[in-house]
Amino acid sequence: MIFARDKSQMCNNLLQFAHVYAYGREHGRHVLSMRFSYKYPYFHIRHTKHTSFILYLVAKIAAALRIIPTANYKPGCNPEALERIVEKHRNVVVAGWEVRYYDLFLKYRKEICELFRIDEAYTLPVKAKMRILDEGKGLRLGLHIRRGDYAQWADGHYFYDDETYASYVNAFARMHPTEHIHVYMSTNDTEMTEERMSRLVNTGDRNGSVTIHLLGGNPPEDLFMLSECDAIIGPHSTFSLVAAMYRDIPFCRMDRAKAETLSENDFKLFDYWFRLIGQ
């Protein structure tokens, strides 16, 4: 058994586990997610055979007592040497963000998406709200506004102000001049409101219009909401990336502070951004 362990946030955990899962799947090894065995009870993986809180506790204690080894994929590690440790031992803990099996991840991506299918208790209410709000008409744009920890992460490079987010919405609207754009916001900014963003969005000389929606959901609801959109705009974040993964939604990563114009080339699919996750 390979025990995948990490200490970061939900979608970081998801992607880290998925790399390990793909490796195990390719080599006939069972993989248990230690994090998803007790936290984030929103996904199908919690109902699968090899996700067990008891196994999690056993592995945690055994690793602490060094009964089973740990392959720690930390920055500056030697991946080849760590993989030899994993190959050598029947039971082993794989920890750290730097574990990477891109090609195998993509090979087993369909299974990974199924493992992390969000339970209907979270998805059905979101579907109903979105259906009422947009009546299935126009384009749905998922807008991920990340604040909080982003004031410090990467020296605050991706901590954008409201005007920056509005500039991306406006640029997207200009790409679709005759469409009604329904913007579905996901944010950890407790002061954000529909009215606040609406004041900044100026659709300009176009026939369509923009309507801002803030459903105020919890993390799994917001993740699903973004995944139901036609396109996603957001900063460098695994939350946006995972939302795009489920249905291969075009994702525009906000790598610059202003977007006077956007084109179809700015919206790329999961496979592209997935390989640039650390850049």
DSSP annotation of 45 reads: G
Alpha helices in 186-237 (DSSP H): 194-200, 219-227
Q: Which residues contact 37 (CB under 8 A, 6 or more apart)?
A: 46, 51, 52, 53, 55, 56
Distance CA 58, CA 55 (A): 5
Alpha helices in 5-52 (DSSP H): 10-26
Beta strands in the chain (DSSP E): 2-5, 31-33, 70-72, 92-95, 139-145, 181-187, 210-214, 231-234, 251-253
Distance CA 102, CA 99 (A): 10
Whether the Cβ atoms of residue 54 and residue 3 lie closer than 8 Å to each other: no
CA 19 to chain centre: 14
For the residues of 92-115, what is the DSSP string, one character each?
A: EEEESTT---HHHHHHTHHHHHHH
- Structural element, H or E, at residue 88: helix 79-88
Q: Where are the domains of the chain?
A: 2-115, 120-274
- Amino acid occupying residue 134: D
Q: What is the pLDDT of residue 203?
A: 64
CATH class of 120-274: alpha beta
Considering only CA atoms, which of 159, 167, 211 is closest in space to residue 187? 159
CA 190 to chain centre: 20
What token pair was written down for 9? Answer: 């946030």
Whether the Cβ atoms of residue 118 and residue 224 lie closer than 8 Å to each other: yes
Considering only CA atoms, which of 118, 89, 109, 96 is closest in space to residue 29? 89
What token pair was written down for 249? Answer: 């939604």
Q: Which residues contact 80 (CB under 8 A, 6 or more apart)?
A: none
Q: What is the pLDDT of residue 144?
A: 97
For the chain, 279 residues long, give each residue's pLDDT as a single digit of tens: 999 998 888 999 999 999 999 999 999 999 999 999 999 999 999 999 889 999 999 999 999 999 999 999 999 999 999 999 999 999 999 999 999 999 999 999 999 999 999 999 999 999 999 999 999 899 999 999 988 878 777 776 778 899 999 999 999 999 999 999 999 999 999 999 999 999 999 766 666 799 999 999 999 999 999 999 999 999 999 999 999 999 999 999 998 777 778 999 999 999 999 999 876
